[in-house]
Structure 1
Amino acid sequence: MKNYKRILVAIDIYSEYDRVLQRALSSAAKPSDCSLVFVTLPPVYFQPYITGVGGDFVVDIERQSRTRLGEIAKQHKIPEENVYVPTGRTADEIQSLADDIGADLIVIGTHGRSGLKLLLGATANELLHGVKQDVLAVRIDGAS
């Protein structure tokens, strides 16, 4: 596989991501060619469930996500400035960030269920149809 110059790696820090990250790193000439992104959901998704919860729940999630993603980046020698935690609709945020940073490859995990949309997962499926970059979909469920 050719070495890409700017790789955006979309990972779910609450799920299995190691295989996705390893594939991205193996496609890069050096770790600094990779950027990590984890998209947090906007507050509207949480509002019905957080009534009466103290503190700013959404800010806490974003802070924890940024901390965890930073730890993952440091472990793999990815520069801190290549870590992104936008808030919004996942596919839209990944697509926008890929354009903003000039990514030439997006690496994302997929799920091994039946049917094309389920096989790829909703986010991976949307990315395949909406981005101008190459997309590497790495199967994470049931992988050996």
Structure 2
Amino acid sequence: MPVYKKLLVAIDLTEEAPQVLNKAKEMATSQGAELILAHVVEPVGYAYGGDIPMDLTELQDQLDKAAREQLTKYGEEYGITEENQVVTVGRPESEVHRLVKEHAIDLVIVGSHGRKGFQLLLGSTANGVLHGTECDVLAVRIF
């Protein structure tokens, strides 16, 4: 009997994303689980300190559109249906926690850069996801 029924793979859109996606697809296949692909676009105001007195709506919309296009490509490549592709705007940790509850996720899969020892998770998005989610988290080491 599978341990996990619903997996959420939360990726950034760098060239390292396929490493995480490959592991997530492998896990979903071995568990016979549903795979949900997610990317969180951080609000432009956060990146620029939030104090810029200009309308950044168009830039935010462009980032959102580019993320959706890339997620669609990954979805097609990894056999993830359109309804299981989620692009959302916010803080990555908070949005992943919300998606876990909203979709009754059993396992979150995230990438983590190869620091040594306990620092593997410290200070990273993976750490934020780990400390606050109500399900298991698999941090895939990115080489």
The structure with more strand, counted as a fraction of residues: 2
Shift of 1:127: 1.5
Structure 1 gaps of 5+ residues are: none
Verify the 8 A CA contact 2:108 2:137 in the aligned structure 1.
Answer: yes
Q: TM-score normalized by structure 1?
A: 0.84
Alpha-carbon spacing, 1:55–1:132, altered in 2? closer, same or farther (3 Å) = closer
Shift of 1:99: 1.0
* Aligned residue number for residue 132 of structure 1: 134
Alpha-carbon separation, structure 2, partners of 1:138 and 1:48: 30
| Partner AA of 2:37 in structure 1 | L
Shift of 1:14: 2.2
Q: Aligned with 2:102: secondary structure?
A: helix
Q: How many residues align?
A: 139
Alpha-carbon separation, structure 2, partners of 1:88 and 1:139: 24
Alpha-carbon separation, structure 1, partners of 2:132 and 2:57: 37
The equivalences for 1:11-22 within 5 A come to 11-22=11-22
Give 1:69's match in structure 2, choosing from 68, 71, 82. 71
Q: Deviations over 1:13-44 (max 9, x none)?
A: 12401121111111113887111111001131
Across the aligned residues of Structure 1 and Structure 2, the Cα RMSD in angstroms comes to 2.6
Give 1:95's match in structure 2, choosing from 91, 94, 97. 97
Verify the 8 A CA contact 2:97 2:129 in the aligned structure 1.
Answer: yes
The equivalences for 1:1-144 within 5 A come to 2=2, 4-29=4-29, 33-47=34-48, 56-114=58-116, 116=118, 118-120=119-121, 121-141=123-143
Once the two structures are aligned, what percentage of the paired residues are identical? 37
